[in-house]
Amino acid sequence: MHDVEDLYNNDEYSGPSRSQKKRDMTALQNLAEKLMKLSPELVKKCGLPQYFIEEVLDAMSMTSHEAKRRQTQYIGRLMRDIDPQPLIDFIEDIEVGNREGNKKFHKLEKWRDALVEGDMSVLDELVELYPGADRQRLAQLARNAKKEKDGGKPPKSFRALFKALREISEGK
- Domain end call among 90, 125, 150: 90
Tell me the HSE value of 57 on the side-chain side, using a 13 A CA sphere: 14
Give 125-165 pLDDT, tens digit per residue.
888 888 888 889 988 998 999 898 888 888 898 889 889 98
- Domain end call among 90, 118, 137: 90
Give 29-53 pLDDT, tens digit per residue.
888 888 888 888 888 888 888 988 8
What global pTM score does this model have?
A: 0.51
Q: Please state, in angstroms and rounded to a whole number, the distance separating the CA atoms of residues 31 and 44.
A: 16
Cα torsion through 69, 72, 77, 80, rounded to 10: -150
Amino acid at 54: E
| Whether the Cβ atoms of residue 52 and residue 82 lie closer than 8 Å to each other | yes
Same domain, 123 and 83: no
CATH number at residue 60: 1.10.60.30
For residue 50, give its domain range: 16-90
